[in-house]
Every structure is written in C-alpha cells, then in structure tokens.
C-alpha cells in the first residue's frame, strides 16, 4: 500500500540476491503509488485498493493469463524479506522433484528472535515450526505456487478482500489433485504482529469463513464447520466490540453472495482428514 518503502526495498534486495536464474518481480500498488524500486522491477498501480486477493490476482495476470508465462510464482508481503539466498532454488528443486506439489508455504520467522508464531504454522499440530510436512492450507504472504494450479483451481477469490482467501484456494487446489507442503527451510523474515491489528479483522474473519464453507464444503459439513468455529470463537472470549463485529460478519456471510458454489469431493474431505485437518476445524 506504499507505506513501507524501506521494507519493500529490503525485500526486493533479498529477492535480487537469490541463487540461480534471476527472479522476475512485479510490485503491485494496491490503491496507492509504488515507491521507487530498482531497475528491472515492474510495477502496477491500481486506482483503488482491491484487497489482498484482488491485488495478488493482478500480480498473477502480470505474467500472462493465469500466470502462464512462468512456471512458479512467489507471493511475498512487502514488510518481509527472504532470509536465505537459496529459497528460489529450493522452490525450483521441490517442484521439479514432486509433480503433485502445487503450493509451498514458507516458514515466517521474526527477524529479531528467529521465532515463528503458532498461527504461522499451517497445521493443527503446530508446536514444532521446524518440522516440514504436507499441509492443507498455506500462508498468503510467504508462498510459492505452481502456475498450473491456477489453471485447474482458479485464482484467489477477489470478494474476500482479507482473510481466508488462501484456504479457499488451497481447498480447490487439493480438490483438483494438487498437494501443499510447509517447508521450514524456506524462511521469510517478518516482524511479529497480531492479525487483530486490522480494523476489519473480526468482521472479515467471520464473513469469509461463512463464504468459505458455503463455496467449498459438502452440504452436511457446512453447519458442522461453522458451529465448531463459533464455539472456538466464544471459548477465546473476545471483547464485546470484537464479538459484536464477529457476529455481524457471520450474519453478513449468510446474507450476501459468496460466489460460485463448487463443493469438494468426499475423497477430498478424506484427503484433508488424512493430512491431519478434516474440514470441520
């Protein structure tokens, strides 16, 4: 959004230092001008903020329809930077070695402490962030996607604006037969933050979770999934304003269009279950 020029420059420098073939870079100004960037970096400035998925979809299209001009796309938040010089090369090797691999989720680590927040490990058993594994979702601002995934599963859901857009794509990718890996050796440094720093957090999280279920889950699982998440939200005892915003978003999720409904196959439900996260939580 143009408000972190120093962090953006550090990120671009870390990308330029990657081993192997140079990484082509596009910076999307999401409703704002793009700060000065190094020569060779392409920029796209949008007249309005399209939200996280909308902005990333513009970045995908910068490499041809569905990103088809390249084999792999990295998505990196502008306040992060790649910790090591071999991340791009590790991505190339991982995708080349595993034809079923569609998405890689990087490990996010605090640059000061090296620690990884539990919420940044995309699995239920998150106590050990140094353990790589197959997973059922990925981190939106620190990942690599094989562009064939977009041809099979579609791009990110623009209307979500913020929250759960990665899980929506992950479920569709898994339903199309792709796999997702969490790799602890591919590291993006990013300051420790709380998602609730965003004013729209509680409303968007609730609304988009309803949309996620309505779009992707077999009908019998929709009330079960949403009931579990309502219970978990209440057990976390949010403040009264936060809870009010959450229930407002929950109602909005039912009252507004969620986009096309394409329920996943029951064999995908079983695949998610075998990977450790059945689509009820």
Which tens digits make up the pLDDT trace of 21-56?
Answer: 999 999 999 999 999 999 999 999 999 999 999 999
- Please return the burial class of 35, using the count of CB atoms within 10 Å of its CB with bins 0-12, 13-18 and 19+: middle
* Short-list 4, 15, 192, CA closest to 109: 192
Residue 199 above 90 pLDDT?
no
Report pLDDT for 193.
78
Distance CA 19, CA 42 (A): 20
- Rounded to a whole number of angstroms, the CA Rg of the chain reads 18
Residue 67 above 90 pLDDT?
yes
Reported confidence tier of residue 2, pLDDT bands at 50, 70, 90: confident
Residue 263 above 90 pLDDT?
yes
Which tens digits make up the pLDDT trace of 218-231?
Answer: 999 999 999 999 99
Residue 68 above 70 pLDDT?
yes
Is residue 139 within 8 A of residue 122, CB to CB? The reply is yes
How far CA 134 is from CA of 21, 48, 51, 113, 159, in Å, comes to 27, 36, 28, 26, 28
Reported confidence tier of residue 19, pLDDT bands at 50, 70, 90: very high
Give mean pLDDT, residues 134-143.
97
Report pLDDT for 273.
97
Reading the block at residue 247, the tokens are 């229930």
Give mean pLDDT, residues 241-263.
96
Residue 192 above 90 pLDDT?
no
Provide the 3-class DSSP secondary structure of residue 263: coil
Q: Do strands 179-189 and 133-135 pair parallel, antiparallel, or not at all (unpaired)?
A: antiparallel
Average pLDDT, the chain: 96
* Short-list 174, 157, 173, CA closest to 165: 157
Cite the residue boundaries of each domain of the chain with CATH code 3.90.550.10: 5-193
Residue 1 above 90 pLDDT?
no
Distance CA 240, CA 89 (A): 48
Question: Which CATH code for domain 5-193?
Answer: 3.90.550.10
Reading the block at residue 219, the tokens are 């009908």
* Short-list 183, 189, 25, 166, CA closest to 91: 183
């Amino acid at each position: 959004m143009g408000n972190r020029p120093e962090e953006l420059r550090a990120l671009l420098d870390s990308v330029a230092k990657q081993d192997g073939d140079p990484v082509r870079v596009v910076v999307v100004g999401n409703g704002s001008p793009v700060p000065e960037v190094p020569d060779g970096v392409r920029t796209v400035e949008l007249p309005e903020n399209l939200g996280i998925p909308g902005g990333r979809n513009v970045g995908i299209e910068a490499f041809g329809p569905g990103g088809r001009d390249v084999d792999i796309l990295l998505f990196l938040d502008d306040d992060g930077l790649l910790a090591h010089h071999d991340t791009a090369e590790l991505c190339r090797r991982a995708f080349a070695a595993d034809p079923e691999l569609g998405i890689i989720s990087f490990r996010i680590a605090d640059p000061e402490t090296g620690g990884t927040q539990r919420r940044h490990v995309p699995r239920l058993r998150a106590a050990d962030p140094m353990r790589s594994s197959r997973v059922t979702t990925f981190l939106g601002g620190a990942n690599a996607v094989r562009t064939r995934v977009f041809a099979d599963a579609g791009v990110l859901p623009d209307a979500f604006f913020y929250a759960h857009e990665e899980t929506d794509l992950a479920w569709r990718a898994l339903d199309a037969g792709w796999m997702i890996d969490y790799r602890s050796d591919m590291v993006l440094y990013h300051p420790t933050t709380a998602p609730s720093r965003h004013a729209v957090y509680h409303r968007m999280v609730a609304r988009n979770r309803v949309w996620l279920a309505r779009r992707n889950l077999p009908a019998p699982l929709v009330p079960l999934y949403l009931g579990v998440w309502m219970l978990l939200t209440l057990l976390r005892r949010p403040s009264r304003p936060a809870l009010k915003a959450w229930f407002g978003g929950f109602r909005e999720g039912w009252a507004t269009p969620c986009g096309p409904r394409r329920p996943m196959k029951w064999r995908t439900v079983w695949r998610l279950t075998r990977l450790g996260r059945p689509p009820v939580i």
